Structures are given as structure tokens and as C-alpha cells.
Amino acid sequence: MTVLIKGGAVVNADRTFVADVLCSDGKIVEIGDAIDAPSGAPVVDAGGQYVMPGGIDPHTHMQLPFMGTVASEDFESGTAAALAGGTTMIIDFVIPNPQQNIMEAYRTWREWAEKSVADYTFHVAITWWDDSVHEDMGTLVREHGVNSFKHFMAYKGAIMADDEVLVNSFSRAIELGAIVTVHAENGELVYRLQKALFETGMTGPEAHPLSRPPECEGEAANRAIRIAEVLKVPLYIVHNSCRQSLEAITRARNEGQRVFGEVLAGHLLIDDSVYRHPDFDVAAAHVMSPPFRSKEHQDALWRGLQSGNLQTTATDHCCFCADQKAVAGTTSVSFRTARVASKTAWKCSGTMASARAG
Amino acid sequence: MTVLIKGGAVVNADRTFVADVLCSDGKIVEIGDAIDAPSGAPVVDAGGQYVMPGGIDPHTHMQLPFMGTVASEDFESGTAAALAGGTTMIIDFVIPNPQQNIMEAYRTWREWAEKSVADYTFHVAITWWDDSVHEDMGTLVREHGVNSFKHFMAYKGAIMADDEVLVNSFSRAIELGAIVTVHAENGELVYRLQKALFETGMTGPEAHPLSRPPECEGEAANRAIRIAEVLKVPLYIVHNSCRQSLEAITRARNEGQRVFGEVLAGHLLIDDSVYRHPDFDVAAAHVMSPPFRSKEHQDALWRGLQSGNLQTTATDHCCFCADQKAVAGTTSVSFRTARVASKTAWKCSGTMASARAG
Amino acid sequence: MTVLIKGGAVVNADRTFVADVLCSDGKIVEIGDAIDAPSGAPVVDAGGQYVMPGGIDPHTHMQLPFMGTVASEDFESGTAAALAGGTTMIIDFVIPNPQQNIMEAYRTWREWAEKSVADYTFHVAITWWDDSVHEDMGTLVREHGVNSFKHFMAYKGAIMADDEVLVNSFSRAIELGAIVTVHAENGELVYRLQKALFETGMTGPEAHPLSRPPECEGEAANRAIRIAEVLKVPLYIVHNSCRQSLEAITRARNEGQRVFGEVLAGHLLIDDSVYRHPDFDVAAAHVMSPPFRSKEHQDALWRGLQSGNLQTTATDHCCFCADQKAVAGTTSVSFRTARVASKTAWKCSGTMASARAG
Amino acid sequence: MTVLIKGGAVVNADRTFVADVLCSDGKIVEIGDAIDAPSGAPVVDAGGQYVMPGGIDPHTHMQLPFMGTVASEDFESGTAAALAGGTTMIIDFVIPNPQQNIMEAYRTWREWAEKSVADYTFHVAITWWDDSVHEDMGTLVREHGVNSFKHFMAYKGAIMADDEVLVNSFSRAIELGAIVTVHAENGELVYRLQKALFETGMTGPEAHPLSRPPECEGEAANRAIRIAEVLKVPLYIVHNSCRQSLEAITRARNEGQRVFGEVLAGHLLIDDSVYRHPDFDVAAAHVMSPPFRSKEHQDALWRGLQSGNLQTTATDHCCFCADQKAVAGTTSVSFRTARVASKTAWKCSGTMASARAG
């Protein structure tokens, strides 16, 4: 089959320019100024639009070990699915356990990713701090091309980075010319709210958004932004889900600070009514962190993209089957909401649930 | 002489790409990926910078008739001076008198501009309203390539566009796919303040900024923005000089509205202490509208450029000799500040004063 | 019947203090520190609340002549109804026709109000300008105790005050130590939108909110605020109905400006879904200006009261019977939406419609 | 001597009312509606002003043990000095060492305060957390009338309260109906900046403001506000010194949150140029935390008082003699700036320096 895409702005790695693109049998066969459509070939008017050879998903978690199980989508099936949808590259995350050697974790993830069928690279999470971490960040940047370090401000008692880790890691990143990224939620507040909800007996999916209100996210976003401002490091905030974090980003950008914001497809399209779904499994399947928010926040996120205060969209792709979720629930020390904390079923097909972690 | 400019992002009309540029004897002789510098030629490292073949000044007034005299720089001398500084194109303004036929004014300016030695085009000012103006806007867009209409919200009793003109013209512009621009100052307030200052005997240059405080500009900027929002037309605000108008633009852009802001070199670099200069002529030479502001506003303007809430810089080039200013003073009906209202000496050399009008 | 109100903060004209209030047969019989409730008398715990002997409605229009008819509630019936609900004082409006002598209008309204059965006073509207208005404002303040002047920024072609009137009147008010108030809607924009809607054939109540969007109100509020800022006069904005005008007030108050905001009971409780009511008469009965807004704006208004950025609530009480509305529709020169422009039925009972004008 | 104060609003503990006040020989001898001035007695026109029998200083530190020395002003001399200036009550701080029993600290401070010659009460600082602290907070509120708990977000390694302490203490406070207060500076950032400055050799007073930039304060203020918002506890932020923390307070108050802000006389009147004073002793004497800021911040603080977004002024009175400062410098483990960290000479007379700690 042959298709002519006319008049779009062709975005290549090296330059952007207005051109026509002729595709035949799934391949680009010609790029030029005024290509005539072959007889019978459909013509797409791309005037005023970008034409890209493929998309980049800057936020995925293939075969992630998490709460006693492992994300069911591995690097092969996951990148194959991505390609099928036009995503030709993913940026996944190396997430060392606290006290785990960073290089060791990095080598593990690199090995897992060998079987990928699309392009890939990694953000590396900084989940603890000592001199070896300081050293390894340098090795990763200088010898392995890593240029982005991730920090989880939530998940107290697990991978949470407190202010001390943030300040040390951000300081090291700017020395190395790397960018820092954060999952912005105040982990102490979340922990407190989870405990309080558990004590009242609210342990179902309906408790999940109550345990992680927008104010927790906005606070953490603002904190990361201000620490980055003082330490003069560029910052990228993943999966902004609410007005509060968007406002923190907007304030900083209006002052000229280099802060960037990502938004997930899910937060743009799904609202928090899912947590009150009469079918427990449907409600539980949507548990992820940050949670889905009310319509007010969805409107704000779209406005954020429109204004340019948010720059990227991602999926946070992280699949768990329904039975895996049950396992996570069983091994969870605290309560049923925690069981699926930061997990959500994305779309279910057969016995397989496509889920995402924050 | 030969110069090699290495590693900049070359901006052409059709595309932007990273390349080396070799210039010899004032001409670009090669653009390529890895050009070797000829022996002895200086090399400029342009990494991370734009490399452009010339600049565009979006705001000039060559040979403008104003208050009984005419700006001394004509289209030939003005564009020659521009070229000498690397500005290869200007956008000047057609400014019909109230009740004057728009097409007639347009033809007059086009004729004046024939002698230009650089590229030029025109914004066309809408200074009054009737059905012929409505008709002529269409002719200008469809037959003459005009795509920008200017409105002066100040200069009561002369070229001021009140809300009725703004609403009519903005509505017409969006029908035609044109952008609208405004000089944003509340003309009624300025008129009132001028009169009040005159009555107190303050008629020197020191009264000029007092007669046009930042609040007047911020109010008008916000009004134009909101009218444009309701009528869904993109808006460009010329010569923003203060925090207040920047904030109005920033608020609108954060909501996703298509509003653009220009800032003049003068407002970025000169502050209002000039109006208290002990030498009357120096102080008077800086009278222009909007006036120069305090340091606080300069800081805000730089931050506006840094954040991207302001997009363009311009000169508002509009020259008047010192003796022309005297004539304007003599013929002015109201008072000495009005005499040089919206004029300023930019740089003086000999008996010639380079001045700018808002 | 006897009631004891305990522990409230008693607000009198001269002081506020915590006390108990004993009421018997509709009268206050004792105010004291620790009154014992008579046997069997109900006790109201007013701790943390204000206890007031009566309310003030700062915005009413009794027997207002408007669009060929007269508001059906006169000063006697209106104040009697007010008293029945605990409102012991109203502030009504003297509204001169353009060119009408202000003192003459004032005397007319004063005479109408003689039959009031509750306390009353007047704001006086400034709807046009010449030297006599300047003079009469002084007379009103110095000899008649008037301390508040109202300006309608909407109603083009009728009582609209343009920037020239605003600037003159605000300047005069500060000389006299009076406060200024505005009905904030951009009249030119409303006029344009009404015309455009009429041309598309939308002439029913559903067109009313489209002809007066929140941006029109926010723009006018901001304009009045900035003019008041420059002229240094305190400002009171009546019937704020939307986020936009609240934000304009909030910005100004945060900078320390003396701006005050009123909100109507109707805007707090009724949303714009009423204009899409299947029963035309119900929809039409809610036409008033500014119109009812979406829930987002209601939330903002409540938050405005909570934060103290809005200070007063009022009714804008202005009754028209259904048949009066028909007359107004018939005599209206423009179109059916205009017919009931700035009128709304508040609650209907029998042939009587309780309506309000902006 | 006799003085008549006419027409002010007399503020008493129980009520506020307009009245005249007659003072004779330093005592109030009459309060009434229209007192005639005794022959020859001066009359003060207090129209539009408050008339108060004495002031309250909500922030003092008498005889505070700090960094190896003790504040030189004790409860007797300090309250005597306060009275001499019209301050009739102070609110001091009980500051337990980490791990110290709260009740024990409370009893110690109460005992010290016995010799006060003016009214006093205490905020109690929460500097660490375990079940006994939870218990003691209850005892303090229920049995000792304490209703305010203070948290230092700075001073890492000493009395700093991290998020865990804040969340626990704020949660407990709202159970008890108490208010929480914070010293808002990000202690981790301050620690990092101090270390970095020390390594560059900047150890003098000029390094002090660089080690505690406004962004550190604004971040901490925002964090405390958002934690308080989620936990629904009213919050009072002490000694706001910069635009950033004022803006955080303003945003919260505009949304209706119960947040209150204090400002010190010093921050309103002294700017950061003192740290570059050529006389080392003068510069060092001004070291306190948060530090004095640039003029921009002073302007913001005054605007904060004007707008009502800041509610109280205080002194943070905390005296150290010059030789005490030397001791603190000697015993300091880190570097010379730390030596006087959070101390400042307030006014020096002879060998005595009046200083304040944050």
C-alpha cells in the first residue's frame, strides 16, 4: 500500500523541515518538496502538523521486580507491542534496591534489555547514598552515556529518597552535566494517610486516592523544583497528575528555571471515578501512583500541554497480571490498598492485565 | 578576511540544522558538516547558539509624520543603518490618520519605502472604524499580503483606538486570519494624569513617567488580551516595558492563549533615572512611550525573555533631531511634557538625535 | 416565645463583644455575660458565631424603571419582605438617565423611598459626565451623606460609563473621600457578542450566558481596579460571578490595594444549567447580568468568601412580573435575548415573578 | 503629666470600641465617649488608629542555651526592657534537646520565667518524636494551657524536625486543637551550601546569606503549608524574611487555608548589605537566621503586612554579648559562618551586643 503525507513538518534527528513523505509497503520511499501522489494512493494533508518516523516513550518499566513479583511484560514483548503502535524507542528505569551497588543494577537491567526489538535507553534511579553512589554516577555518565537520574520522593521504607539523598544526588548530577528527574509525592504524608485510612477500615481501592491527595504531589514537586533551583540543576518531573504540580512547574518556568513536566496518557483520559467502580476488580485494576484525579485536574493537564508548561507525554507502561496483583496483596505488610499501591490495570485482555507503576 | 563559525544551529527560512559556516570577504561561501578552517582563519565556537544570516526588526518607524514634523531617518538611510548592524529586514507601520482611507495610507507608505536597501514589510494601524475600514482590511490581507493590524490604545484625541474600534477590528482580523497588535497604555488615564501634572506645574521630562505609570500599561495589555481571548484572535503586544504587562501576558499564555510579547532594547537597558538627569536635553531626549521604567521592571523583562513569555526584541527606531523636537514642543497644544510625548532620543551625535516613538 | 442565644460575638454598631442574648416575644430583652435560660426556653449555642440584630442588603433595586417597565417590588413591599427575612436595612441605587440632572434623580428616588418600613440608603450611579455632575457629586457627599458612586461598565447605548466617565468620576470621588463601585462587564464585547448570536439565530435564554462570558467580567473588573489603583480611590465591585473577577480582586488585594468584592446569593447557589432548562419560561426567568456561571465559578466564589477576598453578600433584588418581562421583550429594539438582558426571575409564585437586575 | 487620646478604636481583651482615653501620671484614668481635655493637657488625635494598653511580642528567646553559651538577657531583664518600650507580654519558646523529655524542658523554662516582670507564655518546640512526646503534647495542652507547638525545619544534626516529625506532630496538634508553627528553612540545603562555601574558603559573615538563600525558606514554608493543608491544622510561620515564603502563604490564604505569617522588625528594616560591612564585627553581629535579605524582599514584606497576608510583627529577641559570640565560634565544629549561625547582633552598646536567634 502507498500513502502520500503532504505538507507536514518532517522531524528528523538532525533537522526539521516542511516536506512531503511518500510511504510504500510500510517504508518511507521518498521525502521531497512536491511529490505527486501515485495514482489511487491516499493523500494525507499534514499541513501545520509534525511528521515523525516514530515515537519515544520516555517512561516505561519492563519486567520490573516489584513487591514480590515481576512486571509481566518483558523487554521483548514490551518493545514489540510499542513498535506495533508506532513507538520506536523507550526509556526504561534501572532501579537499584537500597544499598545495592548501582553498577551491578545497571548491568542487570542492560542484560535484561538485550532482547529488545526497538531502541531503548535508561534513566538510573538513585535510591540511597554513599561514596560509591557518588562514584558510580560519574562512571555511568562518562562511560555509559547515562544522562538522567531518577528519584522517588514516595515509597517510605523502600526506595524513597529523602532530602539528604536528593541534595547529594542533585549536586552530583550538575557536576556531571546530567538532568535529574523525580516521582513527586511526599512519602511521609502518604505513609501517614495510609495508616489513618487503614485504622478506619478503608482498605479498598476507594481509599487509594484518599491516601495520595494532589497536595502531596504538589508539595513534592515544589520541593524538588526549589532544591534544583538552589543547586542549579535542570529538573524533569515525571507523571504530573494534578493542578498543584503543574502550578509549581509553571511558577518556576515563568521565572526562567529549566523545569520540564511529563504527563501520562492515563491521567489525561481517566478520572478518579474509576476507584468507586462497583466491580472491585475494575476499581483495583486502576490503582497506580499518583492516582487518577478529578476532572478539574484533567482540564489543568490539557491546559498545561497547550501552554507548553508540560512538554512530554508517556505511558509509564508496567504490566501486572491479575494473579500477580493477588500475590502482591498477600505479601503486603500493611493493608489492602497498599497491596496494589502504585499499580494499576491499564487494559485487560483475557487473563492478562496491562498495568502501570508510578 | 575568512572566518569559520563552527557548531552553531544554522537558522534558514526553511529549516534549522547544526552545521559549520565558512565566511570569506563578507560572504557565506560554504555550509557543511565538518569544515576545516583555512590556515590562519579565526574560528568561532557557536556551539549551543543560533547562527542566522541576518536579523529582523519587527518594529520601526521610518520617516513617520508625527506632531508636525517627520522622523528624520527615511527608508533609505534607516535600512542602510540597519544593514550595517546586521538587520536585514524591518517591519514598519502604516498609520492612517483618523478618517483617512486605509488603502490610501497604505499606498503612501509603500511608495516611501521603495528606496529601502533592505527587506521590509508593514503592520497596518487601525485608527478608526467604518464599513470602508472593514472592507480595506480584507483587501490588504487578500491582495497585499498584510497579516498584522496595529492598534494604539493611547494618544486620546489622535490615533487612539477605543474599545469599539478594538472589538470591530479584532473581529474582522480573525475572519481574515490576521494577527492583531496593540500599543498598550490606557489613553484616558494618561490624558488625566498629564492634565493633573500640568496643573501642578510639572511640565519637564521628569513628569513624563509619572503621566504613564506601569499600571496604565498593564491594564491596557490585560484588556487587549481578554478581548482577543473572547474573539479568539492571536495577539501581539508591542514594546512591553513593565512587570504588569508581562504578568498579563504570562497569565494568558499559562492558560494556553496565543499571546506574544515584544520588548525593546531600550527598556532592557535604560532605566527611569534618565528622566531626572541634571541636563534637561539629555532627560528630554529620553522621552518616549511607554517610558523607561525602574530596575525592578528591567529585571522582570529579562526574566520574561528567559522564560519565553516574551518572544521578540525590537528597536522601535524612530529618529527625531533636537530641533525637530523643539518644533513638536512649540506646536503642542497642551504642555511641555506632551511636547515630546512618546519621543525619545536614543543616541545623540552632533546635532542629530536618534529618537524613537512608541 | 423565649429564646436564649449563648456565647456568640454580639455585633453592634459601636462594638463587638461576646455575650448571651435573651429574646422574648420577638424582642431582645437582655444582653449579658451569663444569662440563665428561663425554664423550658430553647437555648442556641452561638459559640464562634456572630450574633447580629439584623442584616444589611447592600444591593437592591426597588421600583426601578427599566426597559419600559418598572420593578414590581416598591420600597414598601420590598422593605417589608426584607424585614420578614431579618434584613433591616437596604442600600438601593439612584440611577439617573444619561444627561439627567443627578440631583433631580436623587430627589426622585428619595421621595419613592419615603414609604420604606426598614432602614435604607443609596448608592448614586454616574452614567454620564459634565461639569454639573462634578458639582452634584460634591453636593451629594457634603450635604446628603452619600459616600458611594456606582458605574455600569456594560449596557452600551444606555447607562454605560466608558473610560472617560470612569476616570472623571473616580478622580472626583477620591477628592470627596467617597468610594466607587462598578458593575464590571465589558459593554462593547457584550454588544458584539449579542449581535453575533442574534445573526446566528440564537435568541433564547441559552444565548444569554454566551453573550456575557466570564472573560468580559474579568476584563472589566481588572480595568476598574487598575484605574482605581492609579487614581488611588477605594473600589467596590458588585455581584462578582466568576473566577476571573475574583482573581483580579485577589491580585490587587495581595498587593495591598483597597478593593472589595460582593457576591450574590444567586451566583453562589445557581449554575448556568438553568439556561438550558426545557421549559422556556423557567430558563428565561433566570436571565440576569452577569449570568449564572458553571460550577467551577461557584466553587471559586465560595473560596473567595472563605479567604476573605470577597467581603459581602447581597441579593440584587429587582422584581419583574412575567407579563412585565413580555413588555420588555416587545419594546426591545434588538433581539429576544436583549429583551430580558440583565433581568432574571428569581422565584415565581402565581403571576408574580421575583427578578433581579444587575 | 496628663494626656488625652481622642477618637481611637480602643482594643481591650473582650471588645473593641471607639472612645477617648485620658491618661494621668502614667495611668489610664478614664475611658469615655467625649472626654474634655484638662486645661493644658496635650491631645492626641487617634482617629482611624487602634489604641492598645500594651503590645505582645510573640517571638522571644530569653536566657536561651545555644551553642555552648546562654542568651545574656534573662526573663527579668528582658521583660523589664520590653515593658519600658510598651510591650506588656512576651511569648517565649521551650526548646527541648533531642531526646529530652518535653515535660522536663517545660518545667525548666517555667522556672526560669518566674522572675519575669511582665506577662509571658510559651510556645513549645517539638524537636524529636516518640510515644512520650505524643503523650506530653496532650498533657501540655490539657493541663498547662499550651496551644502552640514550634518546629525547626533547619539546624540539621541538632534540633531539626524532618518530615516524619512534622507529620507526627502536626497530626497530634490537630487532635488537641493546637496550632503549629515552623521556622521555615530547608536544613539539608543549608547544610550542603555551608559545606560548599566552607570548602571554597568563604567563612566570614558575607557567606552567611549565601548559605541560606530565599529559595530555602520559600521551599520549607510551602512544605509546611501543604503538610498542614493535608492534615487540616492551622499553621503559623515565624520570621518570614522573603518574597518566596510570603508568596507561599499568600497562595494558601487565597485558597482559604488557615495560615498565618509573622515578620520581624529586623527583616523590615535591615537589608543584606550589612554582611558586606567593612568592619568584620559589625557584619558578624548581624548574622541571624533567616538572614537579612535584599531590598526587593523588604518591599515584599511591607506589602505583605499591607495586604493582611502577614498578620504579626515580632522581635525574635535573643541577646548575645560579643564575647559570647567568640565562644560560640570557638566551639563550633564546622566553620566560622556556622559559628554565629542563626545569631545576630541587634544593637550594640559598649561591650554588650543585643542579638537574636531564629
Lowest model confidence (mean pLDDT) among A113-127, B203-217, C5-19: C5-19
Cα maximum dimension of chain B: 70
∠ CA C4-C5-C10, rounded to 5°:
135
- The torsion angle over the Cα atoms of residues C141, C144, C145 and C148, rounded to 10 degrees, is -60
**Set of chain D residues whose Cβ sits within 8 Å of the Cβ of C308:** 253, 308
Neighbour-count burial for C77-102, b at 16+ CB within 10 Å, e otherwise = ebbebbbeeebbbbbbbbbbeeeeeb
D294 interfaces chain A, CB cutoff of 8 Å = no
The C-alpha of D254 sits at a distance from chain C's nearest C-alpha, in angstroms, of 5
Q: Is the pLDDT of residue D358 over 50?
A: no
Closest by CA to C353, choosing from C92, C85, C112, C73, is: C73
**Set of chain D residues whose Cβ sits within 8 Å of the Cβ of C250:** 254
**Set of chain C residues whose Cβ sits within 8 Å of the Cβ of D256:** 303, 306-307
Q: What is the pLDDT of residue B72?
A: 86
Neighbour-count burial for D322-356, b at 16+ CB within 10 Å, e otherwise = bebbeebbeebeebbbbbbbbbbbbeeeeebbbbb
Query: Is the CB of A253 less than 8 angstroms away from the CB of B303?
Result: no
Give the residues across from A44 on adjacent strands.
Answer: A5
A254 interfaces chain B, CB cutoff of 8 Å = yes
B253 interfaces chain A, CB cutoff of 8 Å = yes
> Closest chain B residue to C153 measured between Cα atoms?
B163
Of residues A192, A219, A231, nearest to D223 (C-beta): A219
> What SS3 class is residue A292?
coil
User: Residue C91 is placed in which grid cell?
Assistant: 442600600
Convert the pLDDT of each residue in B98-112 to its tens digit: 999 999 999 999 999
Q: Is the pLDDT of residue A350 over 60?
A: no
Closest by CA to D228, choosing from D307, D137, D166, D165, is: D166
Cα dist from A287 to A266, A278, A290, B228, whole Å: 12, 15, 9, 42
| Residue with grid cell 413580555, as numbered in its chain | C326
> What SS3 class is residue B307?
helix
Q: What is the pLDDT of residue A328?
A: 54
Asked if the ipTM is above 0.85, the reply is yes
**Set of chain B residues whose Cβ sits within 8 Å of the Cβ of A15:** 15-17
**Set of chain C residues whose Cβ sits within 8 Å of the Cβ of B223:** 186, 219, 222-223
Rounded distance between C-alpha atoms, residue A284 and residue A208, angstroms: 9
Q: Is the pLDDT of residue A321 over 80?
A: no
| Residue with grid cell 499571546, as numbered in its chain | B259
> Closest chain D residue to C12 measured between Cα atoms?
D17
CB < 8 Å & 24+ apart, contacts of C166-169: C166/B188, C166/C224, C166/C227, C167/B188, C167/B189, C167/B191, C167/B192, C167/C227, C167/C231, C168/B192, C168/C129, C168/C133, C168/C134, C169/C126, C169/C129, C169/C133, C169/C137
Q: What is the pLDDT of residue B334?
A: 29
What is the share, in percent, of chain A residues with pLDDT greater than 70? Answer: 90
| Residue with grid cell 493644658, as numbered in its chain | D40
Closest by CA to A90, choosing from A123, A120, A128, is: A120
Lowest model confidence (mean pLDDT) among A90-104, A337-351, B196-210, C19-33: A337-351
Q: Is the pLDDT of residue D352 over 50?
A: no
Mean pLDDT value across chain A:
89
Give me the half-sphere count of Cα atoms (radius 13 Å) on the Cβ side of residue B221. 28
What's the distance, CA A201 to chain centroid?
31
Q: Is the pLDDT of residue D273 over 90?
A: yes
C17 interfaces chain D, CB cutoff of 8 Å = yes
What is the share, in percent, of chain C residues with pLDDT greater than 90? Answer: 78
A227 interfaces chain D, CB cutoff of 8 Å = yes
Q: What is the pLDDT of residue B90?
A: 97
Model confidence band, residue C337 (pLDDT cutoffs 50, 70, 90): very low
A351 interfaces chain B, CB cutoff of 8 Å = no
Residue by residue, DSSP assigns C309-340 as: SS-EEE--B----HHHHHHHHHH-SS-HHHHT
Rounded to 5 degrees, what are φ and ψ at B29?
-110, -20
**Set of chain D residues whose Cβ sits within 8 Å of the Cβ of A245:** none
C222 interfaces chain B, CB cutoff of 8 Å = yes
Chains in contact with A via at least 3 Cβ–Cβ pairs below 8 Å: B, D
D163 interfaces chain A, CB cutoff of 8 Å = yes
Q: What is the pLDDT of residue C198?
A: 93
B164 interfaces chain C, CB cutoff of 8 Å = yes
Give the residues across from D123 on adjacent strands.
Answer: D93
Stretch A203-228: mean pLDDT: 96
Q: What is the pLDDT of residue D16?
A: 83
C213 interfaces chain B, CB cutoff of 8 Å = yes
Q: What is the pLDDT of residue A222?
A: 98
The C-alpha of A334 sits at a distance from chain D's nearest C-alpha, in angstroms, of 18
Model confidence band, residue C12 (pLDDT cutoffs 50, 70, 90): confident
Query: Is the CB of A15 less than 8 angstroms away from the CB of B15?
Result: yes
Give me the half-sphere count of Cα atoms (radius 13 Å) on the Cβ side of residue C294. 8
Chains in contact with C via at least 3 Cβ–Cβ pairs below 8 Å: B, D
Model confidence band, residue C14 (pLDDT cutoffs 50, 70, 90): confident
DSSP letter at C96?
Answer: P
Q: What is the pLDDT of residue A326?
A: 58
Residue by residue, DSSP assigns A18-56 as: EEEEEEETTEEEEEESSPPPPTT--EEE-TTSEE-S-EE
Convert the pLDDT of each residue in A156-165 to its tens digit: 999 999 999 9
Model confidence band, residue B207 (pLDDT cutoffs 50, 70, 90): very high
Query: Is the CB of C303 less than 8 angstroms away from the CB of D256?
Result: yes
Q: Is the pLDDT of residue B350 over 80?
A: no
Rounded distance between C-alpha atoms, residue A94 and residue A102, angstroms: 9
Model confidence band, residue C275 (pLDDT cutoffs 50, 70, 90): very high
Mean pLDDT value across chain B:
89
Lowest model confidence (mean pLDDT) among C82-86, C190-194, D117-121: C82-86
Convert the pLDDT of each residue in B127-185 to its tens digit: 999 999 999 999 999 999 999 999 999 999 999 999 999 999 999 999 999 999 999 99
Q: Which of D11, D12, D15, D50 to mutate to test the interface with C (most CBs of C within 10 A)?
A: D15
| Residue with grid cell 559573615, as numbered in its chain | D205
Q: Is the pLDDT of residue A88 over 60?
A: yes
CB < 8 Å & 24+ apart, contacts of A135-143: A136/A101, A136/A102, A136/A103, A136/A106, A137/A102, A137/A169, A137/A172, A137/A173, A137/A176, A137/A178, A138/A172, A138/A176, A139/A103, A140/A102, A140/A103, A140/A106, A141/A176, A141/A177, A141/A178, A142/A176
Convert the pLDDT of each residue in A10-42 to its tens digit: 988 778 888 999 999 989 999 998 999 888 899
∠ CA D43-D46-D52, rounded to 5°:
105
B12 interfaces chain A, CB cutoff of 8 Å = no
∠ CA C47-C51-C56, rounded to 5°:
145
The C-alpha of B217 sits at a distance from chain C's nearest C-alpha, in angstroms, of 10
Asked whether the beta carbons of B133 and B99 are under 8 A apart, the reply is no
Q: What is the pLDDT of residue C48?
A: 82
Instruction: Reduce the secondary structure of chain D to three states and give it as a string.
Output: CEEEEEEEEEECCCEEEEEEEEEECCEEEEEECCCCCCCCCCEEECCCCEECCCEEEEEECCCCEECCEECCCCHHHHHHHHHHCCEEEEEEEECCCCCCCHHHHHHHHHHHHHHCCCEEEEEEECCCCCHHHHHHHHHHHHHHCCCEEEEECCCCCCCECCHHHHHHHHHHHHHHCCEEEEECCCHHHHHHHHHHHHHHCCCCHHHHHHHCCHHHHHHHHHHHHHHHHHHCCCEEECCCCCHHHHHHHHHHHHCCCCEEEEEEHHHHHCEHHHHHCCCHHHHHHCCCCCCCECHHHHHHHHHHHHHCCCCEEECCECCCCHHHHHHHHHHCCCCHHHHCCCCCEEEEECCEEEECCC
What is the share, in percent, of chain D residues with pLDDT greater than 90? Answer: 78
What is the share, in percent, of chain D residues with pLDDT greater than 70? Answer: 90
Q: What is the pLDDT of residue C323?
A: 67
Q: Which residue has the higher pLDDT, A77 or A331?
A: A77
Query: CA-based Rg of chain D, rounded to a whole angstrom?
Result: 21
For B324, residues 6+ apart whose C-beta sits below 8 A from its C-beta are B69, B70, B72
**Set of chain D residues whose Cβ sits within 8 Å of the Cβ of A186:** 163, 223, 226-227
B154 interfaces chain C, CB cutoff of 8 Å = no
Q: Is the pLDDT of residue B327 over 70?
A: no
B114 interfaces chain A, CB cutoff of 8 Å = no
Query: Is the CB of A226 less than 8 angstroms away from the CB of D216?
Result: yes
Of residues A15, A16, A303, nearest to B255 (C-beta): A303
**Set of chain C residues whose Cβ sits within 8 Å of the Cβ of B191:** 167
Q: Which of D254, D260, D303, D311 to mutate to test the interface with C (most CBs of C within 10 A)?
A: D254
Of residues A16, A18, A303, nearest to B256 (C-beta): A303
Give me the half-sphere count of Cα atoms (radius 13 Å) on the Cβ side of residue C230. 34
The C-alpha of B16 sits at a distance from chain A's nearest C-alpha, in angstroms, of 6
Asked whether the beta carbons of B18 and A14 are under 8 A apart, the reply is yes
> Closest chain A residue to B33 measured between Cα atoms?
A14
B27 interfaces chain A, CB cutoff of 8 Å = no
> What SS3 class is residue C225?
helix
Q: What is the pLDDT of residue D327?
A: 53
A162 interfaces chain D, CB cutoff of 8 Å = yes
C12 interfaces chain D, CB cutoff of 8 Å = no
**Set of chain B residues whose Cβ sits within 8 Å of the Cβ of A309:** 254
Of residues C171, C216, C223, nearest to B219 (C-beta): C223
Rounded distance between C-alpha atoms, residue C31 and residue C6, angstroms: 10
Rounded distance between C-alpha atoms, residue C340 and residue C284, angstroms: 8
Q: What is the pLDDT of residue C326?
A: 58
Can you give the pTM of this predicted structure? 0.90
**Set of chain B residues whose Cβ sits within 8 Å of the Cβ of C171:** 192
DSSP letter at C206?
Answer: G
User: Residue D247 is placed in which grid cell?
Assistant: 508568596
> Closest chain D residue to A229 measured between Cα atoms?
D215
Query: Is the CB of C254 less than 8 angstroms away from the CB of D306?
Result: no
End-to-end CA distance of chain D: 40
Model confidence band, residue A1 (pLDDT cutoffs 50, 70, 90): confident
Q: Which of B10, B14, B15, B310 to mutate to test the interface with A (most CBs of A within 10 A)?
A: B15
Stretch C327-336: mean pLDDT: 39
Stretch D29-39: mean pLDDT: 92
Helix (H) or strand (E) holding C120: strand C119-125
Closest by CA to C239, choosing from C61, C80, C77, C79, is: C61
